[in-house]
Amino acid sequence: MDAIETINYNGHEINVYYDEDSESPRTWDNLSMIYSNSRRYNPDKLDIDDLMNEIGISEFPGFDALLQRMEHDYIAYRVCIVDHSYVALSLNRPVPNPYMGFDSGTFGIIAVSKDAVRREYKVKRITKKIREKVESVFEGELNALEKYMNGEVYGYMIDDGMDSCWGFYSMDEAIEEAKSIIDSSSVVAA
């Protein structure tokens, strides 16, 4: 495995690598569930039929009608995708791309029950502020998923084995963590 970046810092060498064994962020404790009929990607292993069964309808009415039917019991948004040598996911907004016709569209629906939101935030009423928090969490969850799908997960190794850590969803975070380890280490460079 070749380093994608090498940095000399305080007498130590930090090598940054792609984390080829990273776990999907969908295995984490996510607020949302993603329902997708994508042939290539189904991060939560749930499809639109599973969602329709949950809400008690038997025939797919289209995404807009399905979202309208969910409004009473769920906070839900359409997830849009552009898959053209790089996967871009967006919440309820098509991603600007000159190739939007053939490699983009609806990826699925991201949703959470309103009961789960009330439990998570310990509220009785879902206010506009709570809804905005949920939307922000959804965007963060989609951002992590997008990075995972694109192989943008990193790890570092200091001095070929002095220390290493993997699973960073930002190269800058991996580098900063490695620098922090060096700064706090009692190991002095040779």
Helices (H) and strands (E) in the chain, counts: 5, 8
Query: Does the structure show a pLDDT above 50 at 190?
Result: no
Query: 56, 41, 59, 55: which is closest to 114 by C-alpha?
Result: 55
Query: Does the structure show a pLDDT above 90 at 188?
Result: no
Query: Does the structure show a pLDDT above 60 at 85?
Result: yes
Region of residue 3 (left: phi > 0; alpha: psi -120 to 50; beta: else): beta
Helix spans in the chain (H): 48-55, 63-70, 114-121, 128-149, 171-184
Position 112 confidence tier, pLDDT thresholds 50, 70, 90: very high
Average pLDDT, the chain: 90
6: its two tokens: 């090498």
- Residue 160 has a pLDDT of 81
- Residue 105 has a pLDDT of 79
